[in-house]
Amino acid sequence: MGFATQLAFPGALLGSAFVAIFALLVTAGISPPPVASAASPLIGAVQPTSVNEALPTSEPAAPAAPQTEQAGETEAESAELSVTEAPQEGEETGVAAESAPAEEPQESEDKCKVSQRYPEKILQWCNLISKLSKKNGLDPDLIAALIWQESGGNPVAYSKSGAVGLMQVMPRDGIAASFMCINGPCFTNRPTIAELQDPAFNVQYGTGMLANLVAKYGDVREALRYYGPMDVGYYYADKVLGIYENYRK
């Protein structure tokens, strides 16, 4: 037997024995152990169980440390301290609270200030007279006396000389337009008849005129003299002042 034959014969025997053992294992239902190969990983290495199982790439993060009871107690104590230090309702804080002074009730400008002794024809304009008299610094009873003398309380009164309304103001139109002065019509800058027939406008304009005359001459009697008809002296002024004395409060 040659050298090659001598080497092949034991190998053939080992192969036959291996085949026989494998057949017995298969017949007995026992899987043979895997044969390691160069392409296979080392035996004992952990293999993924499926293609979707990924190997961990880094160590898992450590769980956050729970807050200690001591920190919680500190916060609770701080909150309790804040509540304790806050002043309670009604508790004095060391600063004297200044109470706001009570507001005094203000009288309405429209409240009637005219003597109730005047006739009803005058008292119907009481609030209007009171408001505009106060605005111009005049006594309401004086304006009431002037209205009683001039128009008797008729808001559309029209005199033979052309004066209009409650306080008989001369307008720029109507009969009054015929009155001439050195520089032309005497009442060019006055309101119209229609404007002066409005009670509020008439009393506002008339009280303003009288207030300007009082300021100019410094005396109510002198002011009434120039407010009334011309060339009668103090007759008109004294008549108005007489009514004022009789009806005033």
Distance CA 137, CA 225 (A): 19
DSSP letters spanning 22-71: HHHHHHHT-PPPPPP-SSSPPTT----SSTTPPPP-SPPPPPPPPPPHHH
* Secondary element (H or E) of residue 180: strand 180-181
CA separation for the pair 216, 159 (Å, rounded): 27
Asked whether the beta carbons of 172 and 193 are under 8 A apart, the reply is no
For Cα atoms 139, 145, 149, give the angle at the middle one, nearest 5 degrees: 150
Strand partners, 32: none
CA atoms within a 13 Å half-sphere pointing along the CA-CB vector of 69: 0
Residues labelled catalytic: 150
Among 218, 183, 224, 230, CA closest to 206: 224
**Residue 90 DSSP code:** T
